[in-house]
Structure 1
């Protein structure tokens, strides 16, 4: 017993007003282990039961878990410092000037940190949401305290600063839980049977499994173009991430149906006239005479 006491009281560091013993290290480790155990039990049993009873969405579950974790971290850090004999108030007071300098140099980092808290609290962007950042369609995979992980249609994971999701204009297709309308452009030759064109476009949309029957697809005659009659085929779908694949399938089917019914998809054509200046010049006429 005395041996254990002596081991725990063994001084690893001894300065003027600071002494670090093995017991202090063990106390700090015990605080970390207990905090992780508490967080695990809270997520595994208390929160899971709460989520099931309230039918909380996956994105909201992730946000609540992250907020609890981030609220627990500062408490654990303070307790660990006290276990090691370090007073947080003294440390903060002594390093005030240093903290100011660090704060000025890490303004963007602090902006991202606060943006992460805003995202988790407001829930404007959640995990599994389909959003458009700039011109890129991505699915949100994880919202961290400073950065978020998103997955593109190429299944590439990108790390995005949280401030970009808060300050920039972001289109959230999953926010209203409704299907989104998309369209493809189609041009046909002048003189085509427009009623047949409309029915074939609707037939192509109706055959595709990823295009919703309700709301129904619609066809609009948009313009008399320079070389074609221009149509837009509007359709609704929940297939946000792979929508370009749906559009490609639709174009293949439209081209096939048009070929079967002898409907031409024109391409721009220009006629170029060459004028022979030599044949009309006076000198040329005199030589011919």
Structure 2
């Protein structure tokens, strides 16, 4: 039985460049690569965790991990071929197949692959950044080889090809810092004390701890509207997501409602005066 197995493993499948490729050799290649790859991936995770623990940042850790894995793949490939005495010329057909693949549609894959490396290296977009891509807004969770995974505000994950993030206009709310400028607009009824309204809006802003003192917030008397005197509170906050800004704006509106009610300031609403010329005739 053992002799039959040994004979079967020693069977030459094909020969190339003076080297015989037996069944045993063809089985050894994927086994060796698999075992070494498992070890490499485990070491990569340990190293990445160590880097993150040193406060290097998830982007630096991801870049180091990518470079580490690429170098390991190259070393594993050449070492395996050298141990098994397999000449590199035996894989010359692979280059031809790659060239054909590029010609028949692999351009997008290669484009996204290179774009992913550019994103990691230049860091115009980093893990944890809050992006606005088209109509979607969300936080970057990871930058993969082909696409970037973004978690939208509604909790849904969105995969965006890396090339689109480089070729299209993308709004990065947190590229330089987490500071975001926002405003709350409110209209009060005509006849209201505008100085009192300005004072109340300023109080609502100052009492909110989430609003930054520098740059200093301001209150603007924006316009005489059709039905209201329009005021606008302009302020800056530290926000890593749109939800943070919306929460601050909501708190300011709650505070304004309370303060306006205490001082009998009426929040305006659309009104129309109807004038009728002539006499009204009521038929019974």
Q: Report the TM-score range of the alignment, normalised by the length of the smaller protein.
A: 0.7 to 0.9
Change beyond 3 A, Cα 1:152–1:51: closer
Could you say which residue in structure 1 is the equivalent of 2:253?
251
Change beyond 3 A, Cα 1:106–1:99: closer
Could you say which residue in structure 2 is the equivalent of 1:142?
142
Q: Name the CA distance, whole Å, in 2 between partners of 1:67 and 1:38.
A: 12
Q: Which runs of 5+ in 2 are unaligned?
A: none
Q: Which moved more, 1:256-265 or 1:24-33?
A: 24-33
Could you say which residue in structure 2 is the equivalent of 1:92?
94
Could you say which residue in structure 2 is the equivalent of 1:111?
111
CA drift at 1:227: 1.9
Contact 2:127/2:143 (8 A) holds in 1? yes
Q: Which runs of 5+ in 1 are unaligned?
A: 280-289
Q: Does 1:186 align with 2:186?
A: yes
TM-score, normalised to structure 2, is: 0.79
Q: CA RMSD in A?
A: 3.5
Change beyond 3 A, Cα 1:239–1:178: closer
Contact 1:222/1:232 (8 A) holds in 2? yes
- SS in structure 1 at match of 2:231: strand
Could you say which residue in structure 2 is the equivalent of 1:151?
151
- SS in structure 2 at match of 1:95: helix
- What does 1:170-249 align with in structure 2 at a 5 Å threshold? 170-241=170-241, 242=243, 243-249=245-251
Contact 1:210/1:237 (8 A) holds in 2? yes
Q: Name the CA distance, whole Å, in 2 between partners of 1:199 and 1:252.
A: 16
Q: Which moved more, 1:251-260 or 1:35-44?
A: 35-44
Q: Which moved more, 1:118-127 or 1:190-199?
A: 190-199
Q: Does 1:28 align with 2:30?
A: yes
Could you say which residue in structure 1 is the equivalent of 2:9?
10
Q: How many residues align?
A: 274
Could you say which residue in structure 2 is the equivalent of 1:62?
62
Change beyond 3 A, Cα 1:184–1:278: closer
CA drift at 1:256: 2.2
Q: Name the CA distance, whole Å, in 2 between partners of 1:64 and 1:184.
A: 44
Q: Name the CA distance, whole Å, in 2 between partners of 1:234 and 1:13.
A: 79
Could you say which residue in structure 1 is the equivalent of 2:43?
41
Contact 2:178/2:239 (8 A) holds in 1? no
